[in-house]
Amino acid sequence: MSQQTTLAVVVPKFSEFVKHLPTVYDLAACDQEILRQLWSGLGYYARARNLNKGAKFIVEKLEGHFPQSYYEWLKIPGCGSYTASVIASICFNEKVACVDGNVVRVVSRLLGLSEDVWSSSGKSAIQTYVDQMIPEERPGDFNQAIMELGATVCRKSKPLCLLCPIQKECLAFAHNCVEICPPKKPRRDTVDVELFALVFWRKATDTVAIAHRTKGFLSNTVGFPLIPATEASEVKQVLQSLLHLQFLELSSKFSHNITHHRISGKVLVVQELENPSITTESVLWRELGLSQSFDWVPRSVVASKLSTSFDNKVFKLFANYK
DNA sequence: AAGCCGTGGCA
DNA sequence: TTGCCAAGGCT
């Protein structure tokens, strides 16, 4: 959970998570829908799927025995060099450095590195450097200490150099270049995106279609089908031709950011009338070019099925209209 | 190896 | 309001 996610957000989620799934066997056997609910609001949903994969790997291939080394943990799905180093050093006293964003910053300043610390080669060099510094005693505590130093003293903005225990050794402090060490992480320019979220509403049973999205934003998550705004007119034409349907484009837009995408969205409510024709769901889906499986869910329980913040926004607009 | 992926919190 | 970004991993 803590991968690329603020700890303050993680902690309460983690408590709830382990309360429901206290063992690796529970996690391995966990139903995807339950997993989605427990992960709801945390983002980067591939992490939740990998966590489940990793648990299955341990239960099925390792007979429930946890790996006991950095190298073996690296083979677990969702477990990269950072996570493997955390587990190996804290749980098994292995002398391997944890290189997260904090550690990159601390070392960048300590050594006065003002360029290329975020690339894979840059982080690899930092890994090698800190690996050499790990003491024999309590490697895990050492790793956590550097990370904590980065989080509290050697922080990104307004570092507390006057309180820093390694101020005397810090080249950035000595050369008065703490401001440019480390350089900012390179980031993609923000891209504006317009899209439509489709809310299929079967009035007769008061049910709503929830799709398993297979491509684009929020791929491999469950929620409302999404289409680029550029395809909206085409979809509307198809909808026009299907006489048992009527659609309504809600006037209010919603906005949402996904990584470097600034999304402006509108909700297209597609209502199935009281007396539907024989057109089947699969035909409807095929004609709309939505290659996604879906379930019809009672409107009253849709909210409990949704797991992304994006879908929550969409459903709120729909509920407001309804 | 660079590009990709969600969200909440904070300045 | 807007931008920045976090105890990264996968492809």
pLDDT band at A280 (very low <50, low <70, confident <90, very high): low
Residue nearest C3 (alpha carbon to C1'): A190
Closest C1' nucleotide to A120's CA: B1
Would you say A274 and A201 are in contact if contact means Cβ atoms under 8 Å apart?
A: no
DSSP string computed for A133-194: H--SS-HHHHHHHHHHHHHHTS-SSS--GGG-TTGGG-HHHHTT-GGGSSPPPP-PPPEEEE
pLDDT at A293: 76
Q: What is the mean pLDDT of residues A139-147?
A: 97
More confident residue, A281 or A141: A141
pLDDT at A321: 84
Beta bridge partners of A258: A261
A281 pLDDT above the threshold of 70: no
Cβ A309 to strand B below 7 Å: yes
Which window residues (13-42, chain A) lie with Cβ within 7 Å of strand B?
41-42
Would you say A139 and A94 are in contact if contact means Cβ atoms under 8 Å apart?
A: yes
Residue nearest C7 (alpha carbon to C1'): A2
pLDDT band at A282 (very low <50, low <70, confident <90, very high): low
pLDDT at A87: 98
Residues A217-232: pLDDT tens digits? Answer: 999 999 999 999 999 9
Q: Crossing angle of helices A81-92/A139-152, nearest 10°?
A: 130
Backbone angles phi and psi of A249, in degrees to 5: -90, 115
A177 pLDDT above the threshold of 60: yes
Cβ A5 to strand B below 7 Å: yes
Residues A4-59: pLDDT tens digits? Answer: 999 999 999 999 999 999 999 999 999 999 999 999 999 999 999 999 999 999 99
pLDDT band at A275 (very low <50, low <70, confident <90, very high): low
What domains does chain A contain, in order, with CATH numbers? 1-66 (1.10.340.30), 95-186 (1.10.1670.10), 191-321 (3.90.79.10)
Distance CA A296, CA A275 (A): 17
Q: What is the mean pLDDT of residues A71-81?
A: 98
Q: What is the dihedral sign for C-alpha A208, A246, A316, A206?
A: negative
Cβ A4 to strand C below 7 Å: yes
Whose tokens are 């098994």? That residue is A92
Nearest to A220, CA basis, from A315, A301, A293: A293
Nearest to A199, CA basis, from A253, A254, A252, A267: A267
pLDDT at A279: 53
pLDDT at A243: 65
More confident residue, A293 or A64: A64
pLDDT at A229: 95
Residues A204-262: pLDDT tens digits? Answer: 889 999 999 999 999 999 999 999 999 999 988 888 887 677 899 999 999 999 999 99
